Amino acid sequence: MSSKTVSTLRSTAAWRMSAKTTIAFAVGSAIAFAIMYMMAAREVQRRSDAWLSGEAGVLSDISLKTPRDALNDRIVEEVAELASREVPGELNIKGRQVNTVFFLVTGKDIPPIFVGTGSREDVLSALNAVQFEPGVPQSVHIAGWKKPFRVVYHPRGSDGGTYLGFADIDAARMLRRLTIGFVLVWCGMVMLGFLISFGGAYRTLMRVERITEAVDRIGSEDLASRLPVSNSSDEIARLSATFNRMLARIEASVKQLRLITDSVAHDMKSPVTSIRGSLEIALSDGQDGRWREPVANAIESLDGLLRMLNTTLDLAEAEAGALRVQKEPLDLSELMQQLTDLYHPAMAEHRQELSLKLESQVIVDADPVLLNRALVNLLDNELTHLPTGSSITISVQVVGNAAQVLIKDNGPGFPAELRDRVFDRFVKGAHSKGHGLGLAFVNAVAQAHGGNVSIADVTTGGAEISLKLPMAPVLTA
């Protein structure tokens, strides 16, 4: 698996979900082990302490009863026997360090007798540092030994005592083996658990992903298509079913909207057409000049009203994703060249300087009528909102895998209060003569083609508007 695949996997929800459950599982099982470990260690110590206390009592008795001259031999004998006897829980493994015992007898009447491994001085100094209670095992650290000794003290006479020390190395070893075993099993379990939960979550979420892809594919063009529904009735199958119901509702409302807009368009346009036609007849056959002016004004106002009605209906359709887009391959540069040929004299009339930077063969898949109207809106904007003497630069270029129309000017820029909503309907500057639908329409057309439009203020003053459309797939000859 390449690092890229891993980083892709790591960005999935499946990864996050299974990582969380795995961490919870790992921490939980580690805590459970720690508790078990502590209980086991305590039990082992309790048993070995019980044994130790018994033996210490016996040895203390012996040291009291045995005559002083025979004491040394007797104690060596006893300890040797003790060491050879099996202690509870001990496993005799050849070649290993086994449990370690020492016995120390002190008193005024005798020199200290020490039997066992290690040096007597180390043991003596360690024991002197500890306060003992008779018969109760205590942990004592002795220099040179990793494991503390459990030591039981019995008083002997007025100023002496017997000490029996025992380091249960075997129990420690058992506990270490237990720990190692657990860590290995724990690692395996955590990894296996992660793989299983990741696999499960991944498979489940891939079904969600497939739904996402399918919904994404079902654009405005094919609202009639539906997601595949599996036979199971789990959450994800229900999600598909819910999406399908939603799609059905959207399809119904888009149909309804088309019906309404078409009927509104029809109902309003027919009377307007007949009014306009009658006015035109009046205009063409009248010889009397007195009412020519008001009739011409009426026609011009009607045309303005109709333009607004048309754009409003277009926008209503576009916002519902119901814009009818009939795509064909178009050369965006060629289109822009034709449009600027059309606009150039009007711009020159406003003493606006126009420069073009057109890359050749910028082919997009677009509806020619919609795209033309969108571009006309942009050019109309420049023409009406720029003061005379401004300069405009229009570029058509390929940026990444998108075709871009970039229109820059050195005019006043967009009014600050409009900047965030220039693409909303009916948003326009205080002095604008337009109806505030132009840029909203451009935005709708861009989105219907899978593109986008954005504005920016140029640092050197002026505004910049960028329309991006996806490039048409390259045709190989």
Q: Identify which of residues 55 and 331 has a Cβ nearer to another protein in the complex.
A: 331
Instruction: Give the nearest distance from C-beta 239 to another protein in angstroms.
Output: 34
Q: Identify which of residues 79 and 378 has a Cβ nearer to another protein in the complex.
A: 378
Q: Identify which of residues 239 and 272 has a Cβ nearer to another protein in the complex.
A: 272
On whether the CB atoms of residues 333 and 307 are closer than 8 A, the answer is no
Instruction: Give the nearest distance from C-beta 371 to another protein in angstroms.
Output: 10
Q: Identify which of residues 162 and 443 has a Cβ nearer to another protein in the complex.
A: 443
Instruction: Give the nearest distance from C-beta 209 to another protein in angstroms.
Output: 35
Instruction: Give the nearest distance from C-beta 289 to another protein in angstroms.
Output: 11
Residue 69 burial class via C-beta count within 10 angstroms: exposed 0-12, middle 13-18, buried 19 and up: exposed
Give residues in contact with another protein (CB under 8 A).
262, 265-266, 269-281, 283-285, 292-293, 295-300, 302, 306-307, 310, 313-314, 317, 323-324, 326, 338-339, 341-343, 345-346, 349, 369, 372-373, 376, 379-380, 383-384, 434, 438
Q: Identify which of residues 171 and 453 has a Cβ nearer to another protein in the complex.
A: 453
Instruction: Give the nearest distance from C-beta 425 to another protein in angstroms.
Output: 16
Q: Identify which of residues 155 and 434 has a Cβ nearer to another protein in the complex.
A: 434
Instruction: Give the nearest distance from C-beta 268 to another protein in angstroms.
Output: 9
User: CA 83, 86, 90, 93: dihedral to nearest 10 degrees?
Assistant: 80
Q: Is 87 left (phi over 0), alpha (psi -120 to 50) or beta?
A: beta
Q: Identify which of residues 251 and 380 has a Cβ nearer to another protein in the complex.
A: 380
On whether the CB atoms of residues 374 and 441 are closer than 8 A, the answer is yes
Instruction: Give the nearest distance from C-beta 262 to another protein in angstroms.
Output: 6
Instruction: Give the nearest distance from C-beta 278 to another protein in angstroms.
Output: 5
Instruction: Give the nearest distance from C-beta 250 to another protein in angstroms.
Output: 20
Q: Identify which of residues 368 and 389 has a Cβ nearer to another protein in the complex.
A: 368
Q: Is 317 left (phi over 0), alpha (psi -120 to 50) or beta?
A: alpha
Instruction: Give the nearest distance from C-beta 421 to another protein in angstroms.
Output: 21
Q: Identify which of residues 230 and 273 has a Cβ nearer to another protein in the complex.
A: 273
Dist. CA 268–CA 207, nearest whole Å: 48
Q: Identify which of residues 146 and 431 has a Cβ nearer to another protein in the complex.
A: 431
Of 91, 92, 118, 120, nearest in space to 104 by CA? 120
